[in-house]
Each structure stands twice: as structure tokens, then as C-alpha cells.
Structure 1
Amino acid sequence: MRKLPLLTSTMLMAFAAAGCTTTMPEGDMAVSDPMAYNPQIPTATSIFAEPSPLPFHAPQFNLVDDTSWQGVIEEAIEIQMAEIEAIANNPNPPTFQNTIVALEESGKVYSRATAPFDQLVSANTNDVLNAADAELAPQRAALSSAIYLNPRLFARVKSVYDNRGSMRMTPEATMLLQTTYADFVHEGAQLAPAAQTELRQINERLSALQAEISTDITDGAAAGAIVVNTREELAGLSDGQIAAAAAAANERGQRGKYMLSLSNTTSQPLLGQLQNRSVRERLYAASIARNQSGANNTLPNIAEIIRLRTRIAELFGAPDYATWQMYDRFAQNPETAINFMTQMVPALRATQDREAGVLQARARQDGETFTLQPWDWPYYAEIVRRERYALDNEELKQYFVVENVLEDGIFYMANQLYGLTFEKRNDLPVYDDSITVYTVRDADGSDLALFYFDPFARDNKSGGAWMNNYVEQSRSMNMRPVISNTLNIVPPAEGQPALATWDDVTTMFHEFGHALHGMFADQEFTSLSGTNTARDWVEFPSQFHEPFAARPEVMQRYARHWQTGEVIPDRLVQAIDRSSRFDQGYSFGEVISASLLDMEWHALSPDEVPTDVMAFEQQALGGLGLRTDLVPPRYKTPYFRHIWNHGYQAGYYSYTWTEMLAHDAYEYVVENGGMNRRMGDRIRRTFLGQGHSKSYDEMYRDFTGHAPRVEPLLEARGLVAADDGTQADISATGAE
């Protein structure tokens, strides 16, 4: 049984569970229950009663009607409730096998049903699915409470845990026992009965609020799209982008006009291209205004979530929610995470001030007299980027056909490092025709995993990009992983190729790093398998694989002009490299400010909870010491889905923390032979195939031979000079 989070949908990794029987403490293996015990468990009637008959037990999307999901999952909840009660009421003395392993074996029907459902709600939702998600949210929270707040069950877990010293245990079994016990304590198993009752109520209410917020954020982004009347106002966009905008407007009944949709982030990608300043301002204003009023207003729910989360901290005697939440993290506590980020603020602020001056001066060259605003920064940054580095992002896109990036780039990297091969298949059901599916084979030719790829943005799709498991790996159950990568690349206009930006390309490599983490899982216990790790570790394997996108031997494989087939010219490759430390005041600033905003929200004590959400955000951002007036956080509070429904509360810092790990670890790759099978075997053996079978520090040291170092991150971001003397290159003179 994987830990059931209090949030209930739109997870980066879907819920899963599998039974394990062969890896256990040696001292426990010979124990047999003295009393026969055959509890009655309800029989599932849905297609999830047994593993899918499809290859790799792939999801049968074509056999579940939208209106059936709620009943299917309610039945699965009932079954797991009965399984938990059976474990708790076992009359035999608690053992590792009949308690800890039994928990691992529970919830198979539930996980088989919720994994595809959660993906549909995230990637292809509709009113029926949203309504089901809202109805199921408190029921799923109640299931979590029924596990972790069951006194009889915890007594058994604690008994096994207290007896651990007398058992000879495998390292993985030891880790499972430790994490299981820690999870129970964290979820309230040791609270007094009255506090547990209140916690149950809070958890159910939170789950409902989080489901509502997720729907509102998706709908708010769709509703926030702006309509532009004339083609002339879209100067700066490519013909393909203009055609896509016309098609989007036509779909919404605005024939003859153009619609610019919102991405999930604050800064909109088109701000770097639109020449019309008024349109840029409208697009930016629509972005930051969403979810603050009307039918999709998230502010009341956010205020309630913060009140409830601070109350949780109070119930546990923690000074704040962040302290309570970070019990299982690599960073361990809020102080470590906050200090890690704030130490970079002075250099980052100086970079922002310097960059703002350069961009303001560039606008003056065009005869503009306005004071630089947030909707101007991306536009003039792109002008300076083109002029200084001869890098035009629109020109660059012509070399990045999405399918080529995946099959000729990412798959090539995976083959050269790990020996993997991929075969496209067309015999499995998918929920959208744009999805492709591949069989993944290991270096020895054996079947390793199944991989789904869902690349394009849709109005009914959550923003961002993520990896999820439909089936999680388990040695004892002989379950191989079924994994999906979901992105939001702008879909092509009809008759045009699907082209990716450089950011899209690195995101594809990033998400495939998550996929590899899941594919290489080789654990006995599902709870410790693959990506079932702490937030500030799970993003490490993904960010670690991003730099491979720019390796020359990889890029020359996939970066080919969609019309001519020409390999990307050296001048563009060199421009990408030269500009990699450019505009860090913006790209790094928006992430750090969002991370610190997250911590500001979750460091509140109960008597500090504000009544005005946006006033608190303004105050919090004003105190960060960064130019948030010009560089807003990547996500503002009303649409910060990561921390309201994705499980990243008090955890958004993880992206920067793991970026530190990734830059430091990639430096080891560069210094020790680069991209080859020997290196890939080391990566897989030390951390990529280890799940949470070891401590995070041990896995990191196993690979690099040392503790994490922040210097490679600072050098890569241009905040300090690298060994070769290079640093962020933006100055008032514009000279390179």
C-alpha cells in the first residue's frame, strides 16, 4: 500500500499498490500464524477486479464510460477499507508479514482504478469527470484517515517497529518498516482521539477544496484567453502561431478573430514575440487576473486551505505547516530550504537590476519613453538575445519537430546511456488520438516498460508537464512499469508540423528523466519503488537528464529543419550555449520568488493567517528582496496549483534544490567520460534504479563520491563566475 496523500487528484505520480512477499526480515520469515484467519473481503465487479489483460496490464481506457468512474472508485474504496480492517483485526500477533507486507498488498483494486482516473481528470477532463472527482475527494481522504488513524492498525505497526532490533532485516525491508512507521506518526496515529477526529474532518474538507481549486485553475486559464481583432495586432508571431490563434477563436465562436490562450505560468510565452505593446499588456493582465473573481475565483478556498493547514500544524504541536510537512525530506526542515534559497538572493537581485537596466536602455534605442514593465521584459530580452547571441527562438523552433525530439533525441540518449530500445505500438487504447505508445526494452532485449506520450495542450488539460504511473514496478508481483509523460506543447495548426521551443525540448528531456526513474525501478516493495521518493529528491533524476538535450552527439540526431532536413547549424548551437546564462534574473528569479512565496504561506502560525489573500501575497513578495515588480513569481497565489493541489506545499523549493543536485551530478558525468554505457550503468546502479531503498544522501554520495555542492548551480545560473571566467552576460553596454 502506497501512502495515500491527503490530496486526491492531479498527482505527478498516480497512486499504486502491489503485494510483496519475498523480501522480509529473516527472523520473521519462519513465523507462521498460529490461528487460521480468513477475513471476508468484498469482491470487485468492475474491470479493475483483476489486472488489465492488455500487455503490461495497460489501462483499458475504452472500457470505462465517464459516468461509471465514480461508482468504480467507490467500490474500490469499500474494498480497501475492508482490507485495512482485516489487517487491523487479525487475531494473530503482529509480524512484518501479516502487518507491513499485508499493508503493501492492500489496495490493488483501488490503485488500478485511480491511476487512469487521475490522469483523465488532469489531462482530458470534462464536467462529468470533474463532478466525480469532487464527489470522490472526501471519500478518498476518508480512506487515508481510515488507514493512518486506525488505532488497532497502528498498534500492530508500532509493535513490529518496536521489535525491529530483534529481527534480521534486508536493507529494503528496514527502509519499508521505518517509512511506514514514520508515515503513520506523521498522519496522526499518535494524536489523542479528539484531535484525530478533528484531523479526519480537516482532511476531508481539504481534499474537497483542493479538487475544486484544481478545476477552477484549469477553467480559469481557459476563460482567461484574450481575443484579438486583427492579424496586424499579432505582428511578431509566426504564420503557424497566427493560424493556431485563428483556429482557437473559431472553435469558440469568434470567427474572423484571433484567440491567445493562457499557459499555466504567470509570464506567457508569446510575450517574447508580440510587437504590439497593448496586446502584450492585455495578455499579461489576463494572466495575473485569473482566478481572483467570478465563477473560477480560488481565493476563498485558498484562505480556507491555509487556515486548515495551520490548524494541522497546531494539532501536531509544530510551529508551522512547513515544519510538519517536511518530515521526510532530504532538506529535513524549512530553515535549510529557506537558507538555501535566500543565500542566492543578493546576487540574484543584483542580476535583476543589471538586466532591467539593459532592457530599459534597449527600449530607449527604439525611441520608447515608457518605464519597463513585466509585459515588456520578455519582449526586450528576446531582442537582446537575438542581437547578442544571434538566437531567434522562432528560427530555432524550425529544427525541433516534437516527434523527432522524442524518437531521435531522447530515445537515442536512452540507448547510448542505458542500452534501451523503443518500439511504437498501435494496439492499445488511448484517451486522445495525439498520444503515442511505445514498448521499452532493456539492454538485454527483455521487456522493461510501456511508455505513453501525450504532448499537446488542450483546453481540458491541466497546465504544465508531468510523469505518472499507470502500473508501478514490483518484483514480487512481477509487475513492470507503465508510465506516461504529459506535456503542454502548443499543438500545430492543420497541415503544419508540431514544433517545440527550446524550453519544450528541455522539458521533454526532464519528464523523460522522471520516466526513466520509474522504468528502472527494481524494488521488492512498491512503496519504495521508482519515483516514490521525497519531493526534494524526485526532481533530481529529471533535472539531471536535461543537459543531455544540448550534447552535440544527441542534438545532431534530432535537431533537423522540418522542411529541409538540415542539421541545426553550429551558429545556433553555439548561440544556445552562449545564451544559457542569459536573462537569469528573470528565469531564475521567477522560480525563487515562487518558492519563497510557497514557504511564506506555509510558515504562518494560526494567529498569522491573513483574511486578504492578495494583500498577504503583495506583502510577502515585497519582503523577498527581489524585483517582483518586474519579475513576478512563476505562479501567483490564485493559480499556484503545485502548492494547492499537486502536493508541493512547502516543497516548491524542491525544483531548485534538485537543480543543485543535478548540476553537481552532471559535472561528474562530464568529468568522467560523458554519455556512454559505463556511465549509464553507474547512474542506474547508484540512484536511478534505487527508488527509496536507500537514504537520499547515500544514493547521492554513491554516484558522485561527495556531498552535494551548490557551486555548479550558481555557475550554471551565472550568479558566480565559473572556472573559465564566464558569468551571466548582460551589461549596460551590451558588449559580449
Structure 2
Amino acid sequence: MSIHRRFSVLACASAVSIAILATGCSNQQEQESKVAKQAEPSAANATVGAEAAQIATQASLKDGSNPFFNTWDTPYGVPPFDDIKTEHFLPAFKQSMETHLQEVDAIANNEQAATFDNTIKPLELAGADLTRVAMVFFNLTGTESNADMQALQREISPMLSRHSTTIQMNENLFKRIKTVYQTREQSNLNAEQLRLVERMYNDAVRSGANLEGEARERFAAINEQISSLTTSFGQNTLNDSRGFKLVLEETDLDGMSQSMIEAASATAEAQGLKGKYVITLQRSSVEPFLQFSNRRDLREKAFKGWALRGDNDNEFDNKKNVEQIVKLRAERAQLLGYKHHSDYVLSNTMAASPEAAMDLLLKVWDPAVKQAKKEREWILEQMAAEGAKHEFAAWDWRYYAEKVRKARFDLDQGEITQYFELNNMLEAKFYVAEQLFGLTFAERTDIPVYNPSVRVWEVRDASKNVIGLFFGDYYARSTKRSGAWMSAFRTQQKLAGNVKPLIINNMNLNKPAEGEPTLMSFSDATTLFHEFGHALHGLLSDVTYPTLAGTSVSRDWVEFPAQLYEHFIAQPQMLKKFALHYKTNEPLPDALIERMKKASTFNQGFATVEFTASALVDMAYHKMTKVDSIDVRAFEDKTLGDYGKPEEIIMRHRSPHFGHIFAGGYSSAYYAYMWSEILDSDGFNAFVEAGDIFDKQTADKLYKYVFSTGDTLNYDEAYKSFRGRAPTTDALLENRGFKQ
């Protein structure tokens, strides 16, 4: 019964979603950007802040001014964001942790024989106040971060780790859980209850409940250290990235589209640089610049800034954090009787073993490298045709690949972008949900939000019943971590009543100038659909027990529904209906759709090598059994050199900013995106084979066995029930253009 499960509400595309790190595996995802050193709180200020928080605690308890001590009289019980201040969190955490321990002690010390109803059920209800506080706090640290919030996070994360360990190591509690587990088959439990008991017992064992003496104490110490290190890692990445900005003049804009120029201008103006243009290390800013800017010197600066996040030998450097986290994870796994961290993590997934995960990665790696070498030759031919005299380098790949794409397929990404406007794409993803599941979305402007740019929709099912709220936070800002992710302010359950989920999607699109449309690449539109697939996984959850709800599933299953949802935006009938030119409102021309289809596997060698390189390094770190010291750069080079990685392609996420595995829940599990791609590629073909992308019978099975079930079913059986058979890798290889 690992407490962090209660807070794990994440799922992400580029990686990541927000979870709480009670046991050192924070949440999903990547936190990226750099703050000036003077913005960091000093030790003295931190002490003053702690003293002030203690005073605030006492005052809040007396006058009720702390919103976390009150009932939220808001629509659907949404957090009253305008009333919540930074100083409210610490007293709320402290009091809710104390209440939680009292609830757990009452369960553990119950003199009656342990049963599902007097042990498992009350454990599921315990800690509700703490969950409420934590979900608000950790969502805001990912979206509204500042020096005060970061200082508070550094204080709270180890507190939560200690709190979690106290519960996990409660011997009386574990004895009761174990008794219920051992008698489960004779207890007339239903299928969901059986699943919950088995998961709760396994989580307890994996969280060290069986350890004794020094091993138990060491396990607790390791968890607390990892919690602090992963928090530091995420904050360093955010701060280091935030400190980089490439300031451009009018003469530096050659090759950039008008929408890129307007976005760079808006970013500059927001930073007090009126008349200038700024490129940041947000992917939505730097990637298009690397694709289109004709200034090779500036592309090099942008690329190196991007590649070296967390690796600049400054106060935000993460290389030592990487070494310490890997070392501690290996030791923790061995305390539990596993060979290494990868063995520990994957024993609880669909893959089941590191060998199975590696088999998949290498099955894709070899054809990807072969294809990437072919793409490299095309680029060299393009460079020669243009008379380029410089050597081909990593910061040239996206730029020349774009030229090759245009030459070979008559496909201009700048032209495509004009047809993908945010509001139209929001309508598109809602339309798919309506066609598949009968959902409708009505925007509400009376719901509290934590930032003015956040939008909220009320979601109803086919019977017009409200099933939850959906929050959309789509724009990049300096207080927000990079990437795209799904999270929640509240997850679905029925145990405490008909609790409706409050689900949020985050992206980092460039905010345009006032009055201008938000244009996005087709890749951004695909990410929008991906994250909404995660959101639907949370919104459509229909289970009784919170531990089993929504996206609280295995890493290599959680990406399946999201990646399957991506397929819908690529379908011609969807493009004709929603990909409308932002000026003329004309639909995407058939000829352009056909060119997009023909080019759909172009540069997949590069993209697959970039991704798989990160997954291979992740596995290499976490298959280590003895860790003395790690030279991070040398480790990456050695690992990928052994696999024959092309020199001009770097990891999609280099170790010092690889938030998925060092500040999120994907350690030794980054392969999961590829594993899930087997499922989504094969799974979407069920609609294709039915002759209708919204085939009702197929959609009903998708709802019944995937989107609504949370963690109540065996994943392999759930997939077979949906698809009618086990998945094959054929569709994955075909979609990436690797099938011979």
C-alpha cells in the first residue's frame, strides 16, 4: 500500500504528468528552464520562511483563513485558486499528514480480525485531506513555479517520503493487509476487490514492508534521499532552461515563418524586450527554429543550449544528481531482493522483464539506424546541391531534413501549420470523443482557475450526466515546466460517493500576439490528441476504488489509450472537417493530405533513433548492479557508441534533463512508449478493419475494456477482449516505415 499511488495522477506524451513523490519517484515528466542565481532563496531566507509558516499554521487553525481547512464552496468542489496562497501549503500538509497517520493507526490497531471491510476499505478512504492538498500543490509546482514554491517543494518532498515510509513500515498494518491477501479467495470478494487486495499487498512488499532491522532503516533513508534528489533534479532543469534565451534582431529572422516571428516577438515583449525576438528552450519554440532558421550560427547556439540543459557545470548542474539517484535506486532494489532497479520496475509491468523490453527496443533500433543512415545520405545530397561547405552537424539535421522533405514530397511544414489552429483542434478532439463515447463538452467561465489562460469544460456523457471537468492549459510561460502532460486535481471513485474527476491537460504552445491565432504544427496537434487520450482515460474511469482509478496503471499500458487517440487526427475525414486555413477557413486540400500521407514515414529513422537512444540509456543506467561513480557524458557516449548510434543524432532527452526517469515515474520504463505503440498501432487497425473509424461496436469495446476500467483488469486480457486477439508488431513497423 504505497502512498505515492494515491497521488499518482500522471500520464504524458513527451513525457510527463504531475504526481507526488512520496517514495522518490516523482511525477511524470520533465521539468525544464534557468532562474538567475539571485532569485534562489538563501538558507537564511528558507529558515525565515519555515518560521513564518509555523506562525501561519497556528493563525490558520484559529481563524479558518487557510482554504485547505475549509469546505470548498465552488462548482464541483474545484480548488478555490484565488484564495490559496503559498503559505497555506505547509500547515495544510502538516495537519493532513497528522490526520492521515491517526486514520492509519486506527486501522492498524483494530483488535478485530482483519477483513476487507475493516482494513482495505478504510485504507482507501484514509488520507483524503492529504491527497487534496498534494494534488493542488504538485500541479502548481509544475505550472506556476517560483522561488518560494521551489523552496517549499524541497522542504515538503522529504516530509512526504518520511510520512509514506512510516505507513509502509507499520508492522501491524502490513500484518492485516497480508491476512486479507492470504484469505482473499475465501472472502467472497468481487473481481475489483480481489484486484485491489492483490495490488495493495504487492505494493506494500515492493515498498519494503517485509524488511527488518537495518535493512528497513536503510530503505527508509534511501527513499528520503531519492525524494530530495529527484526534486532537486526537476528544479535544476527548470531553472537552467529558464536562464537561456536567444535574443534575435530583425536581421536574424531569415527563414522563420510569420507565426514563428510573432510568437518570438510576443515572448520578447513578455520579458521586457520590446522590439526584439526571443527563442526559448521550450520545445515549441526551439524545434521550429532549428527546422527553419537560415542562420546556422544561431541554430548552433539554440541546439547547444537545448542539448546542455542541466549540464552546464553551474549551480543547476544535474550530473551528480544522476549519479546519486542511479546508485540509490540500485541499492534499494537489491534490498528488496531484486538484481537491479530495472528488474524491480519491470517485474510489475506488461513487459515483465528487462529482457523483454530490450528485445523490443533492439528489434526497432536496427531498422531505425539503417533508415537514419539513408536519411543522412539524402541530407548530404541536399547540402551538396546547395553548395554547403561546412561539415554536417547535429544542429543541421532538422534544417536540412525539412529541405529534403520539401524537395522529395513537395511538403512545406510552414504551409501545413496554417491549417492547424488551436480552437479548431480542440473542437476536433472533442468531436472524436463524442463520436466514440457520446461525450459532450460545454465551456464554463465560472470555474476557478490558477492562471487566466486556463480554460475549463464541463463534460457530460450520452445520458447528459456530468462525469467531470476538463481543464486545458496550453501555453508556455516561464513558471511552467516544459513538455506536455495530463494530470488531475481529483480522480474518479465511488467509494466516497460519486466522486467526479477534475482532469487537466498541459502543453507548451507559443502564445501568439494579442488577437492572433494560435497556429500549431501537425506534431503539436498530434500531441494535443495524445494528452486528451490520457484525459479521457481519467474522465471515463468507472471504478469503485481510488487506487485502481483512471491512469493509475502500468507504465506500458498507460500510454496505449493516449497513443491510440493520436491516430484520429491523421484520418482524412478529420483533416477535411477540422484542419481549416486560419485566414480563409478553407479545408486542407486533398492534394496536401495526400502529400502528408506519403511523407508520414519520412525522417522516422531520425525520430526513432532519437527516442530509442534515450530508452537504451535509461535501461543501461538501471540495469547496473554496482554503482561507484558515473561520468554521465562518457556513459551516454559509451552506451550508444556500442549500439552504433549515428553521430549527428543525439538522445531525445539527455541524462541531465531526462525528467521522465530522474524527476518522473518512467525510470527503466521509457521504453513504455514504444511498447504501447505496438498496442495502439495494432489496436487502431480494429477501426480500420471495421471500415469506420468511429465504428460503434469497436468503440464500445474500447470503452469497456480500456478507457473505463482503470487497473481493474489484467492488461493482456483487457487488450485481447478489446481486439479479439493478442497484438502483433507488424502495424508498428509499418507505421514507422520499417516493414520490409
Taking structure 1 as the reference length, what is the TM-score of the superposition?
0.91
Which residue number in structure 2 is paired with residue 679 of structure 1? Answer: 698
Match of 2:299 among 259, 273, 280: 280
Give the Cα separation in 1 of the matches to 2:583 and 2:286. Answer: 31
Deviation at 1:258, TM superposition (A): 2.8
Which residue number in structure 1 is paired with residue 675 of structure 2? Answer: 657
Give the Cα separation in 2 of the matches to 1:265 and 1:211. Answer: 24
Which residue number in structure 1 is paired with residue 107 of structure 2? Answer: 87
Which residue number in structure 1 is paired with residue 17 of structure 2? Answer: 12
Give the Cα separation in 1 of the matches to 2:177 and 2:184. Answer: 11
Which residue number in structure 1 is paired with residue 687 of structure 2? Answer: 669
- Per-residue Cα deviation, 1:82-135 (whole angstroms, up to 9, x for no partner): 222221111221111111111101110011111111111001211111111111
User: Quick one: structure 1 residues 253 and 450, their matched pair in 2 at CA, closer, same or farther if it must change by over 3 Å?
Assistant: closer
Deviation at 1:314, TM superposition (A): 2.2
Question: Residue 232 of structure 1 aligns to a residue in which SS?
Answer: helix
Deviation at 1:264, TM superposition (A): 5.4
Give the Cα separation in 2 of the matches to 1:702 and 1:450. Answer: 29
**Are residue 424 (structure 1) and residue 443 (structure 2) matched?**
yes
- Per-residue Cα deviation, 1:505-556 (whole angstroms, up to 9, x for no partner): 0001001100111111110111111111011100100000001002223222
Q: Which runs of 5+ in 1 are unaligned?
A: 18-42, 722-736
- Per-residue Cα deviation, 1:166-194 (whole angstroms, up to 9, x for no partner): 22221100100000000001011111221
Give the Cα separation in 2 of the matches to 1:251 and 1:67. Answer: 27
**Are residue 326 (structure 1) and residue 331 (structure 2) matched?**
no
Question: Residue 450 of structure 1 aligns to a residue in which SS?
Answer: strand
Which residue number in structure 2 is paired with residue 259 of structure 1? Answer: 278
- Per-residue Cα deviation, 1:657-714 (whole angstroms, up to 9, x for no partner): 1011100000111101321433322210121111111100010000111112111100
Contact 2:351 2:357 in 1 (8 A): yes
Contact 1:584 1:717 in 2 (8 A): yes
**Are residue 356 (structure 1) and residue 376 (structure 2) matched?**
yes
Which residue number in structure 2 is paired with residue 618 of structure 1? Answer: 637
Contact 2:468 2:539 in 1 (8 A): yes
Which residue number in structure 1 is paired with residue 192 of structure 2? Answer: 172
Deviation at 1:281, TM superposition (A): 1.0
Which residue number in structure 1 is paired with residue 485 of structure 2? Answer: 466
User: Quick one: structure 1 residues 295 and 246, their matched pair in 2 at CA, closer, same or farther if it must change by over 3 Å?
Assistant: farther
Aligned AA for 1:134?
R
Paired residues, number: 692
Give the Cα separation in 1 of the matches to 2:719 and 2:372. Answer: 32
Which residue number in structure 2 is paired with residue 450 of structure 1? Answer: 469
Contact 1:57 1:471 in 2 (8 A): no
Contact 2:661 2:667 in 1 (8 A): yes
Which residue number in structure 1 is paired with residue 36 of structure 2? Answer: none
**Are residue 305 (structure 1) and residue 325 (structure 2) matched?**
yes
Aligned AA for 1:249?
A
Give the Cα separation in 1 of the matches to 2:19 and 2:636. Answer: 31
**Are residue 643 (structure 1) and residue 661 (structure 2) matched?**
yes
Contact 1:16 1:108 in 2 (8 A): no
User: Quick one: structure 1 residues 60 and 7, their matched pair in 2 at CA, closer, same or farther if it must change by over 3 Å?
Assistant: closer
Question: Residue 468 of structure 1 aligns to a residue in which SS?
Answer: strand
Q: What does 1:84-483 correspond to in 2, within 5 Å? A: 84-228=104-248, 230-263=249-282, 268-292=287-311, 293-407=313-427, 409-476=428-495, 477-483=497-503
**Are residue 503 (structure 1) and residue 523 (structure 2) matched?**
yes
Aligned AA for 1:710?
T
Give the Cα separation in 2 of the matches to 1:609 and 1:544. Answer: 41
User: Quick one: structure 1 residues 696 and 176, their matched pair in 2 at CA, closer, same or farther if it must change by over 3 Å?
Assistant: same
Which residue number in structure 2 is paired with residue 576 of structure 1? Answer: 596
Give the Cα separation in 1 of the matches to 2:656 and 2:386. Answer: 36
User: Quick one: structure 1 residues 682 and 171, their matched pair in 2 at CA, closer, same or farther if it must change by over 3 Å?
Assistant: same
Give the Cα separation in 2 of the matches to 1:487 and 1:702. Answer: 33
Return 281-290 or 242-251, whichever deviates more: 242-251
Aligned AA for 1:426?
T
Which residue number in structure 2 is paired with residue 21 of structure 1? Answer: none
Give the Cα separation in 1 of the matches to 2:631 and 2:9. Answer: 27
- Per-residue Cα deviation, 1:443-464 (whole angstroms, up to 9, x for no partner): 1111111100000111111111
Give the Cα separation in 2 of the matches to 1:16 and 1:621. Answer: 30
Question: Residue 508 of structure 2 aligns to a residue in which SS?
Answer: strand
User: Quick one: structure 1 residues 471 and 15, their matched pair in 2 at CA, closer, same or farther if it must change by over 3 Å?
Assistant: farther
User: Quick one: structure 1 residues 50 and 182, their matched pair in 2 at CA, closer, same or farther if it must change by over 3 Å?
Assistant: farther
Aligned AA for 2:4?
L
Give the Cα separation in 2 of the matches to 1:185 and 1:401. Answer: 49
Match of 1:715 among 721, 728, 734: 734
Give the Cα separation in 2 of the matches to 1:440 and 1:138. Answer: 37
Which residue number in structure 2 is paired with residue 20 of structure 1? Answer: none
Contact 1:345 1:625 in 2 (8 A): no
Which residue number in structure 1 is paired with residue 510 of structure 2? Answer: 490
Deviation at 1:611, TM superposition (A): 3.4
Match of 2:716 among 697, 701, 705: 697
Give the Cα separation in 2 of the matches to 1:306 and 1:220. Answer: 21
Contact 1:419 1:677 in 2 (8 A): no
Aligned AA for 2:143?
A
Q: Which runs of 5+ in 2 are unaligned?
A: 11-15, 23-60
Match of 1:528 among 543, 548, 573: 548
Aligned AA for 2:718?
M
Taking structure 2 as the reference length, what is the TM-score of the superposition?
0.90
Contact 1:221 1:264 in 2 (8 A): no
- Per-residue Cα deviation, 1:237-275 (whole angstroms, up to 9, x for no partner): 123322332343344454544321012599833211111
Contact 1:7 1:646 in 2 (8 A): no
Return 247-256 or 69-78, whichever deviates more: 247-256
Return 609-618 or 339-348, whichever deviates more: 609-618
Deviation at 1:577, TM superposition (A): 1.2
Return 707-716 or 570-579, whichever deviates more: 570-579
Aligned AA for 2:233?
I
Contact 1:536 1:655 in 2 (8 A): yes
Question: Residue 403 of structure 1 aligns to a residue in which SS?
Answer: helix
Match of 1:602 among 622, 628, 633: 622
Give the Cα separation in 2 of the matches to 1:458 and 1:538. Answer: 27
Match of 2:566 among 525, 543, 546: 546
Contact 1:345 1:626 in 2 (8 A): no
Question: Residue 315 of structure 2 aligns to a residue in which SS?
Answer: helix
Give the Cα separation in 2 of the matches to 1:700 and 1:432. Answer: 39
User: Quick one: structure 1 residues 449 and 677, their matched pair in 2 at CA, closer, same or farther if it must change by over 3 Å?
Assistant: farther
What value does the CA root-mean-square deviation take over the aligned residues? Answer: 2.1
Give the Cα separation in 2 of the matches to 1:304 and 1:502. Answer: 39
User: Quick one: structure 1 residues 557 and 266, their matched pair in 2 at CA, closer, same or farther if it must change by over 3 Å?
Assistant: closer
**Are residue 592 (structure 1) and residue 597 (structure 2) matched?**
no
Aligned AA for 2:669?
G
User: Quick one: structure 1 residues 446 and 7, their matched pair in 2 at CA, closer, same or farther if it must change by over 3 Å?
Assistant: closer
User: Quick one: structure 1 residues 51 and 661, their matched pair in 2 at CA, closer, same or farther if it must change by over 3 Å?
Assistant: farther
User: Quick one: structure 1 residues 375 and 493, their matched pair in 2 at CA, closer, same or farther if it must change by over 3 Å?
Assistant: same
Question: Residue 173 of structure 1 aligns to a residue in which SS?
Answer: helix
Deviation at 1:13, TM superposition (A): 5.1
User: Quick one: structure 1 residues 674 and 251, their matched pair in 2 at CA, closer, same or farther if it must change by over 3 Å?
Assistant: closer
Aligned AA for 2:291?
G
**Are residue 633 (structure 1) and residue 651 (structure 2) matched?**
yes
Question: Residue 62 of structure 1 aligns to a residue in which SS?
Answer: coil
**Are residue 60 (structure 1) and residue 72 (structure 2) matched?**
no
Deviation at 1:564, TM superposition (A): 1.1
- Per-residue Cα deviation, 1:8-39 (whole angstroms, up to 9, x for no partner): 9987254699xxxxxxxxxxxxxxxxxxxxxx
Question: Residue 565 of structure 1 aligns to a residue in which SS?
Answer: coil
Aligned AA for 1:402?
L
